[in-house]
């Protein structure tokens, strides 16, 4: 059974600060996705990483896939209130269509 542990579980910081969220597993994943979910809505796909060591940037968000494809991180620079939400990582074991294993989630609150 593949498990994805996210840390921290809750994070509350001031606007303008930087933060990093971690997603760790003992299993290897072929791809890893990051989603953001707002209250009452479904998860929205932010990025997919597939190559060990890969780094992707999305404006102030930087995503990294670990060399061994077992872990990932999300770094936010100069956080803004609009970044508030539940961040979820999700992994696929095989390439192609299959179920996703979701992480435990990080609830981020940015204080204006």
Partner 1 sequence: NAGVMQNPRHLVRRRGQEARLRCSPMKGHSHVYWYRQLPEEGLKFMVYLQKENIIDESGMPKERFSAEFPKEGPSILRIQQVVRGDSAAYFCASSPEGTTYNEQFFGPGTRLTVL
Can you tell me which residue has the tokens 């992994």? 91
3-class secondary structure, 81: helix
Within 8 A by CB and 6+ apart from 44, the residues are 35, 36, 37
Which stretch in 14-22, 26-34, 60-68, 72-80 sits in contact with partner 1 by CB under 8 A? 26-34
The reply to whether 85 sits near partner 1 by the rule CB under 8 A is no
DSSP label of 83? G
Minimum CB–partner distance for residue 78 and partner 1 (Å) = 27
The reply to whether 97 sits near partner 1 by the rule CB under 8 A is yes
| Residues engaged in binding partner 1 (CB under 8 A) | 4, 6, 30-31, 33, 35, 40-45, 48, 50, 88, 90, 92, 94-105, 107
């Amino acid at each position: 059974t593949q498990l994805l542990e996210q840390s921290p579980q809750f994070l509350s910081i001031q606007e303008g600060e930087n933060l990093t969220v971690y997603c760790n597993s003992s299993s290897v994943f072929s791809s890893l996705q990051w989603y953001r979910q707002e209250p009452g809505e479904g998860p929205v796909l932010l990025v997919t990483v597939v190559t060990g060591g890969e780094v992707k940037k999305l404006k102030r968000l930087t995503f990294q896939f670990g060399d061994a494809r077992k872990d990932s991180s999300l770094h936010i620079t100069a956080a803004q209130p609009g970044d508030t939400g539940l961040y979820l990582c999700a992994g696929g074991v095989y390439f192609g269509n299959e179920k996703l294993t979701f992480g435990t989630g990080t609830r981020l609150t940015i204080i204006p």
